Structure 1
Amino acid sequence: MAMKVEISITLRQRIIDHARSSQMEVCGLLLGEGGRITVVEQCANVSSAPATRFELDPAALIAAWRAARSGGHQVIGHYHSHPTGDSRPSPTDAADAAPDGAIWIIVGTNEVAAWRAVDRGALHGRFDPVDLVVAA
């Protein structure tokens, strides 16, 4: 049985709009609790090759972790786009991913999908699919 993650239609659309705003890969943080995304925070892609890779701005990630430790929303994962690809993690994504259980939402050319970074995952040995439940 696949894990489920809930996101509002508004937050899902915010991710899609961010992805469609650039020909480069975009990225951001997913904040919330457990299996529910309650905040989406856009971040700068600081990769040296943003057309094909993403790297979250470390300052934004550190600030989110600090806020979580102070009682703010928990960092449960992140999102990024594949402007000319599909919504499955690439082999590069798998090589860069830690098996920490983080949720990865990927916006492809025509779809959005969610994944969980795990040890010995079904895809590339690193990712298991996650059911993305869109709520009104």
Structure 2
Amino acid sequence: MVPTLSRSAHAAMLSAAHRAAPYEACGILLGTAAHIRTAAPTANVAADPTRHFEIDPAALVATHRAARDGSGPQVIGYFHSHPNGLARPSATDQTSAARDGRVWAIVANDAITCWRDGADGFEPLSYRVVEG
């Protein structure tokens, strides 16, 4: 199944990457397994945000808690940018991945690629941008 990505989520990731440069932007992808509705930017609290990202733990915990108790959308995955790199998982991304099946979207040079964080590593994931 090719998941869909809302036009607003697509725009939010590109905007977050532009605003954060030269630092890495990051955030949380929300929706359903078939449709990413929202890309919610968060603070990057990494020690070196020019080369790494770390989603603000307080935002991450609050988002997961809201999803669990039904008051918020489901966490589908995460996004971050590679301001001076390629729109594919880096060696650092490979080592920090949880292998939990979530989607990782990577923004670089005005392109967004999506990847499934699978048991055997990242697998490219096709998507379509749609309204809503």
TM-score (structure 1 length as normaliser): 0.90
What residue identity is the alignment partner of 1:68?
A
Gapped regions of structure 1 (runs ≥ 5):
121-125
Q: Distance in 2 between matches of 1:54 and 1:77?
A: 14
CA contact (8 A) 1:86 1:110 kept: no
Match in the other structure for 2:115: 115
What residue identity is the alignment partner of 1:6?
T
Q: Distance in 1 between matches of 2:5 and 2:110?
A: 18
The DSSP-based 3-state class of the residue aligned with 1:67 is helix
For residues 26-65 of structure 1, the aligned pairs below 5 Å read 26-65=25-64
Structure 1 outlier segments of 4+, above 2 Å: none
TM-score (structure 2 length as normaliser): 0.93
CA contact (8 A) 2:12 2:40 kept: no
Match in the other structure for 1:18: 16
CA RMSD of aligned residues (A): 1.1
CA contact (8 A) 2:94 2:122 kept: yes
What residue identity is the alignment partner of 1:14?
A
Match in the other structure for 1:133: 128
Q: Distance in 2 between matches of 1:81 and 1:64?
A: 20
How many residues get paired?
129
